[in-house]
Amino acid sequence: MSTQRDGLAARDLPPRVTSALEAFFASRGPLVEPIGPTYATAVARLEAFVLSGGKRVRPMFAWLGWTAAGGEPSGPGAEQVVTACAALELVQACALIHDDIIDNSDTRRGRPTVHVGFAADHSASKWAGSADRFGMAAGIICGDLALAWADDMFSGSGVPGPAMARARPVWAAMRTEVLGGQLLDIVAEASGDGRRGTAELINRFKTAAYTVERPLHLGAELAGADSQLIEDLRGFGAAIGVAFQLRDDLLGVFGDPAVTGKPSGDDLIEGKRTELLARALDHGDQHDPSAATRLRALLGRELPAGEIDEARAILHDLGAVRAIEARITSLTERALAILEPSSMTAGPKRQLQEMALSGAHRDH
Amino acid sequence: MSTQRDGLAARDLPPRVTSALEAFFASRGPLVEPIGPTYATAVARLEAFVLSGGKRVRPMFAWLGWTAAGGEPSGPGAEQVVTACAALELVQACALIHDDIIDNSDTRRGRPTVHVGFAADHSASKWAGSADRFGMAAGIICGDLALAWADDMFSGSGVPGPAMARARPVWAAMRTEVLGGQLLDIVAEASGDGRRGTAELINRFKTAAYTVERPLHLGAELAGADSQLIEDLRGFGAAIGVAFQLRDDLLGVFGDPAVTGKPSGDDLIEGKRTELLARALDHGDQHDPSAATRLRALLGRELPAGEIDEARAILHDLGAVRAIEARITSLTERALAILEPSSMTAGPKRQLQEMALSGAHRDH
């Protein structure tokens, strides 16, 4: 009990998630082996990718939702909940593998992306045709497998039927929302849609709902939370999820490469359509068109350090940095104000408070 | 009752499947609409694709499995089973949409493929970047949505818990198997692996298990069939599923374009690694190496009619056509021999017999 109250159980979660994922992959052997070593090798690549994922953010929020609603971390039924929460990592594996194909990304977590790994196999084997197209094809299939297995793992978690029946609509909403957010993102990028409303929708569905709000909601439904507690957790998650993304957007332009691990001004070079940028362009178009024009000219191409600094200065001058910082503060305050009177258990409440504060003010 | 005995209920199935799919898409509105019109338009494209699918082969076999094990087509609970069976069409939508990206196919069912449709939107809107890459990206996301929704539809079918618990491992096996078959297929094509064993594995998992055996098995589990009946249906499905594919392989080389709707000698031009081809090359390598060499030279490129005829003649001369015809006959006989003493209900049994005979001897 004291473990739960101190929130330590949540910090113990990542290794339990990893164990649940290992057990799930082991359980797939009898299905995979008859299909032969080629498939088994691809599955091993998927497994290595999933097991190398570090922070287990989504399972952690689901677990916090469950414990916040009274779930006992070492009580009977807890392992089944860990398994259901861990299934979120397989949804995320699909999202990352397919995103890396869509974005044509070569590396992730300092290693070759899954499709690039398959392409390298193709080249090393001197096979016919394009290695890149083979990598894409195998990566699509591998991501599909992760998505299908996410459902198998969730459905087969052993969580009792009534809890599963409560949680399943949340599971469905989360997948539908994140795919919607991804689609909006690629359409916004292609169409050059830099409107604030579009950036807000993408942040809401691609990040906040998928990463924080729905995992908390899922956990709370697994625990049979009442509707007020669910509303609290969702409200907290929606606010803090957007705040996290806005902090990411600031770090993507102003972050220290030595701390973030990303190139300086990365989001500018990629031309990423963030809320930060949308606010700057909105304001510039109305009050300082030449600054807006110059900012647009600094997006989506390699920039020397001097031009990165120039873009940063424009974002400051147009008031966008101040506006985003104010919004992060207001979202964090809203989230904390929701927590304060909430009926959730003490340990998870404290942990969510800490996460809200550290997430909003982090430097990486 | 007489409807069921006559198998008419199975012929009535396609419109019921379409209705179930329409109802499912309608039920998604409240999830999709908040994400905005861009997503709703993409979902409408997926819906049009799913609703335009004609034969509903996999739901039909699942339904036959259910009725063969005593399920009543107009009894209570039948609509829920129709919905569970119809969910197979969403798995198939994902498989087709992603396969068309992998194969770089421009048309399907005489219409632009899904990714080509998205690419055309991109071009028509004069958006930035590559229309082809945008089409691929949107197609990947759309296929993912179909796969996620397949699970939502299956899980939300309303089939009672115990039946769902029996059917779920079959549902899991089917998705794992078809993705394995697809992976083997692209690896065999890239690596030029023309071995018979590989072609047999691909036929078994990509086609027979996915299209016939597992749908029959799924339906039988939904109905609570006993283990002997399940063994019968699976044995029938595995045999007839491979026979169907072998007939397809023959039609892919020898079929009349006016009847099949595909170009003459299509599989030769694509260089498709079929069991037909594997047998010819196996035999040629051992007994007539120059014929094997010539056949290899006729694969995977545009062929004038004279060379298509030459390849056909070599396939005949090397005994591959006769061997495949004999295998179709033997598989069909085995399938019918399994049906004969089986305890399944009379109408579905007769319908499966008819399907086995007509499928093995069809000309398109």
| pLDDT tens, residue by residue, B276-298 | 999 999 999 999 999 999 999 99
Q: List pLDDT tens digits, range A206-228.
A: 999 999 999 999 999 999 999 99
Nearest residue to B71 via CA among B344, B330, B294: B344
Residue B11 pLDDT more than 80?
no
Residues of A in contact with B137 (CB under 8 A): 101-102, 186
Nearest residue to A237 via CA among A336, A90, A168: A336
Which of A183, A196, A206, A214 to mutate to probe the B interface, most B CBs <10 Å? A183
Tokens matching residue B261: 């709707």
Tokens matching residue A187: 């359409």
**Residue B243: strand, helix, or coil:** helix
The residue among B11 and B60 whose pLDDT is bigger is B60
- To which H or E segment does residue B108 belong? strand B107-108
Residues of B in contact with A37 (CB under 8 A): none
Which of B155, B193, B204 to mutate to probe the A interface, most A CBs <10 Å? B155
Residues of A in contact with B147 (CB under 8 A): 144, 147-148
pLDDT value of position B263: 81
CB contacts < 8 A (A, B): 164
- To which H or E segment does residue B111 belong? strand B111-112
Residue A260 pLDDT more than 90?
no
pLDDT value of position A7: 45
pLDDT value of position B9: 59
pLDDT value of position A9: 59
Instruction: State how far residue B76 is from chain A, nearest Cα, in angstroms.
Output: 22
Contact yes or no for A234/A210 (Cβ under 8 A): no
CB atoms within 10 A of CB B76: 7
Superfamily the domain A160-364 falls into: Farnesyl Diphosphate Synthase (1.10.600.10)
Residues of B in contact with A205 (CB under 8 A): 35
pLDDT value of position A26: 98
Q: Is the backbone of residue A275 left (phi > 0), alpha (psi -120 to 50) or beta?
A: alpha
| Chain A residue with minimum CA distance to B201 | A35
CB atoms within 10 A of CB A157: 23
Q: One fold for both B1-159 and B160-364?
A: yes
% of chain B exceeding 90 in pLDDT: 85
Residue with tokens 């399944």: B344
| Chain A residue with minimum CA distance to B155 | A168
Instruction: State how far residue B168 is from chain A, nearest Cα, in angstroms.
Output: 8
Instruction: State how far residue B102 is from chain A, nearest Cα, in angstroms.
Output: 5
| Chain A residue with minimum CA distance to B101 | A137
Strand ranges, E, within A78-229: 107-108, 111-112
Which of A41, A97, A105, A186 to mutate to probe the B interface, most B CBs <10 Å? A186
Confidence at A264, pLDDT banded by 50, 70, 90? confident
* CA atoms of B350 and B362, how far apart (whole Å): 18
Q: Which of A123-127, B179-183, B189-193, B358-362 has the lowest mean pLDDT?
A: B358-362
Bridge partners of B340, per DSSP, are: none
Residues of A in contact with B102 (CB under 8 A): 136-137, 140-141
Q: Are A98 and B141 a contacting pair at CB < 8 A?
A: yes
Distances B28 to A95, A182, A190, A335 between C-alpha atoms, Å = 21, 18, 26, 29
Nearest to B141 among A28, A141, A179 (CB): A179
**What average pLDDT does range B241-267 have in this prediction?**
89
> Any idea where the domains of chain A sit in the sequence?
1-158, 160-364
* CA atoms of A198 and B42, how far apart (whole Å): 16
Assess A336–B contact: CB distance below 8 Å, yes or no.
no
pLDDT value of position A270: 84
Nearest to B94 among A136, A144, A177 (CB): A144
Contact yes or no for A298/A310 (Cβ under 8 A): yes
Contact yes or no for A343/A229 (Cβ under 8 A): yes
The mean predicted confidence, pLDDT, of chain B is: 93
**Residue A106: strand, helix, or coil:** coil
Instruction: State how far residue B5 is from chain A, nearest Cα, in angstroms.
Output: 35
Q: Are B102 and A140 a contacting pair at CB < 8 A?
A: yes
Nearest residue to B100 via CA among B121, B79, B119: B119
Q: Are A35 and B192 a contacting pair at CB < 8 A?
A: no
Q: Are B148 and A179 a contacting pair at CB < 8 A?
A: yes
Contact yes or no for A253/A268 (Cβ under 8 A): yes
Architecture of domain B1-159: Orthogonal Bundle (1.10)
Nearest residue to A100 via CA among A88, A125, A118, A87: A118
Confidence at B5, pLDDT banded by 50, 70, 90? very low
* CA atoms of B335 and B241, how far apart (whole Å): 10
Assess B32–A contact: CB distance below 8 Å, yes or no.
yes
Confidence at A38, pLDDT banded by 50, 70, 90? very high
Instruction: State how far residue A212 is from chain B, nearest Cα, in angstroms.
Output: 17
Q: Are A177 and B128 a contacting pair at CB < 8 A?
A: no
For B227, residues 6+ apart whose C-beta sits below 8 A from its C-beta are: none
**What average pLDDT does range B8-24 have in this prediction?**
88
Residue A116 pLDDT more than 80?
yes
Does domain A1-158 correspond to CATH entry 1.10.600.10? yes
Q: List pLDDT tens digits, range A310-353.
A: 999 999 999 999 999 999 999 999 999 999 999 999 999 999 99
Assess B143–A contact: CB distance below 8 Å, yes or no.
yes
Whether ipTM > 0.90 holds is yes
**What's the N-to-C CA distance of chain B in angstroms?**
33
Nearest residue to B195 via CA among B253, B272, B279: B279
Nearest to A98 among B140, B180, B182 (CB): B140
